[in-house]
Amino acid sequence: MLDQIIYFFDNISSTQRGLILALGITGFWIIEGFIPFRVFSYNKFKHAITNILLTLTTIIVNFSLAFLIVISCDYVSKNEFGLISILNIDGFLRVLLSLMILDFIGAYLAHYVQHKIKPLWLVHAVHHSDKHVDTTTANRHHPIESLVRFIFTVFAVFVSESSIAIVFLYQSLSVVFSQFNHANIKLNSQTDKIMSYLIVTPDMHKVHHHSYLPYTDTNYGNIFSIWDRLFGTYSELDKEKIIYGIDDDYDDKNDFFKVLKRPFKKD
């Protein structure tokens, strides 16, 4: 089974990768209609347009630079450069460790750094400026942020010694998990809590999108929740008290071009 999964992602096409993203958004979009966490008084389709356009910029950045991932994977494989060779592990453990390292560096660490360095925060604020968080918010990233995250992912490849198949598997899982934990869905609180000991859940990530500190600077994880618990960045908040968006005076009206200009706004 594992070999078949690796074979599939070793030969996955750009169309198939795009299809995974599209099916994820569509699936969670439909689920949001049945079990919404909040019933927003907004035009769901109009709101989605800006987020989908930003998602397209992320796709363009990632697909344009994908050759660097391929080159990096080939290098670490040929030179046995990375933790996999040092630890001399294979099979399921190799895949799991690689995914965890990619998630830690490519998602958690990249996310943490963007909250701590002001110029990067101004860029990342595009993601947090959404006042109606739903599954389309998952890839609401400024193109500069997409580039930053890509650089962290390349670094993670060198640390983990990941193959291209595992990187594509990770990226697919990352997209689906991000769509899941951003989705405007209401899960049973106890079920969500139990799941959050292993993975990042909607209730856990909602806290991160609260407008006010210190909650905004917590719950950075994307797939595995262990990083927040391990590094002391995990927090909880009554989800009914959560207010989405950013507490500033820049009203982008969720307009695509105004959103793109957000990082360069004058204080």
Give the Cα separation of 193 and 187 in Å (integer). 10
Q: Is residue 15 part of a domain?
A: no
pLDDT band for position 265 (cuts 50, 70, 90) = confident
Q: Is residue 104 part of a domain?
A: yes
Q: How many domains does the chain have?
A: 1
Q: Is residue 163 part of a domain?
A: yes
Axis-axis angle for helices 14-34, 164-182 (nearest 10): 20
The pLDDT of residue 83 is 81
Give residue for tokens 């604020």.
125
Q: Is residue 157 part of a domain?
A: yes
First to last CA, the chain: 54
Provide mean pLDDT across the span 96-116. Answer: 96
pLDDT in tens, 225-242: 999 999 999 999 988 899
Q: Is residue 58 part of a domain?
A: yes
pLDDT in tens, 253-264: 888 899 999 998
Q: Is residue 23 part of a domain?
A: no
219, 205 contact by CB (below 8 A): yes
Separate counts of helices (H) and strands (E) for the chain? 14, 0
Q: Is residue 3 part of a domain?
A: no
Rounded to two decimals, the pTM is 0.92
Give residue for tokens 């078949």.
4
User: Which residues is 224 bridged to in the sheet?
Assistant: 199
pLDDT in tens, 192-229: 999 999 999 999 999 999 998 899 999 999 999 999 99
Give residue for tokens 């106890």.
190
Range of the domain at 178: 47-264
pLDDT band for position 267 (cuts 50, 70, 90) = low
**Residue 250: count of CB within 10 angstroms of its CB:** 14
Q: Is residue 31 part of a domain?
A: no
Q: Compute the mean pLDDT over every residue in the chain, rounded to the nearest whole number.
A: 91
pLDDT in tens, 63-86: 899 999 999 999 988 888 888 888
Q: Is the pLDDT of residue 177 over 80?
A: yes
